[in-house]
């Protein structure tokens, strides 16, 4: 059976497997993999110890899946630190403040998922093309936004849960 690609409602589309380069340097790479008004999927990599995003909130969900290395997130009004390695996943719902950086002594590679896109793909293309594009990103509200326990965190089964958590090592740590 042949596979065919269906167009999206807005015609903005990058087939998985085809990367649309945004930024490439020795220490940083960003490429769009899927760009649609309902969902964007981005591949990113950064050198060890680099801040990637300062604290912010969205009106949409932003999620991260770590392919290699580690990412450290500060999440929620209480700025809880969550560090995940390869195979780990963090989803940050609307209104939950978050920032993140690479952690550990090695570069990191990860996927970023925006559900709906919130203008992220257009923003990234604007970064590449030197054009300012507004999108669904806002400063953290004065009350700090929603608490960290609204985030979804899944660690690979080989990664121990945070200290004080009674989860079995054979099951992912879910919040």
**Tens digit of each residue's pLDDT (9 = 90 or more) over 14-27:** 455 678 999 999 99
Q: Give the chain's largest Cα–Cα span.
A: 54
What are the structure tokens assigned to 43, written together?
């591949």
Instruction: Report pTM.
Output: 0.81
List, for residues 140-157, the tens digit of each pLDDT value: 999 999 999 999 999 987
- 100, 112 contact by CB (below 8 A): no
Average of pLDDT values for 99-115? 96
**pLDDT one-digit tens code per residue, 70-102:** 999 999 999 999 999 999 999 999 999 999 999
Element (H, E) at 43: strand 39-46
Res 4 pLDDT > 80: no
By percentage, how much of the chain surpasses pLDDT 90? 78
Percent of the chain with pLDDT over 70: 80
Half-sphere exposure of 58 (CA within 13 A, CB side): 24
Strands 152-154, 70-75: pairing is unpaired
* 152 in Cβ contact with 174 (< 8 Å): yes
H or E element, residue 90: strand 89-92
């Amino acid at each position: 059976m042949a596979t065919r690609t269906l167009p999206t409602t807005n015609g903005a589309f990058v087939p998985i497997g085809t990367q649309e380069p945004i930024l490439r340097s020795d220490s940083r790479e960003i490429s769009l993999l899927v760009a649609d008004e309902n969902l964007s999927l981005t591949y990113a990599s950064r050198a060890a110890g680099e801040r990637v995003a300062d604290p912010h909130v969205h009106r949409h969900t932003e999620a991260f899946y770590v392919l290699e290395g580690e990412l450290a997130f500060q999440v929620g009004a209480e700025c809880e630190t969550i560090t995940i390695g390869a195979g780990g996943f963090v989803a940050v719902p609307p209104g939950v403040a978050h920032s993140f950086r690479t952690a550990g002594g090695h570069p990191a590679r990860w996927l970023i998922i925006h559900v709906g896109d919130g203008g992220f793909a257009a923003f990234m293309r604007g970064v590449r093309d030197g054009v300012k594009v507004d999108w669904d990103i806002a400063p953290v509200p004065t009350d700090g936004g929603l608490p960290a326990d609204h985030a979804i965190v899944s660690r690979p089964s080989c990664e121990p849960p945070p200290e004080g958590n009674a989860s079995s090592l054979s099951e992912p740590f879910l919040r």
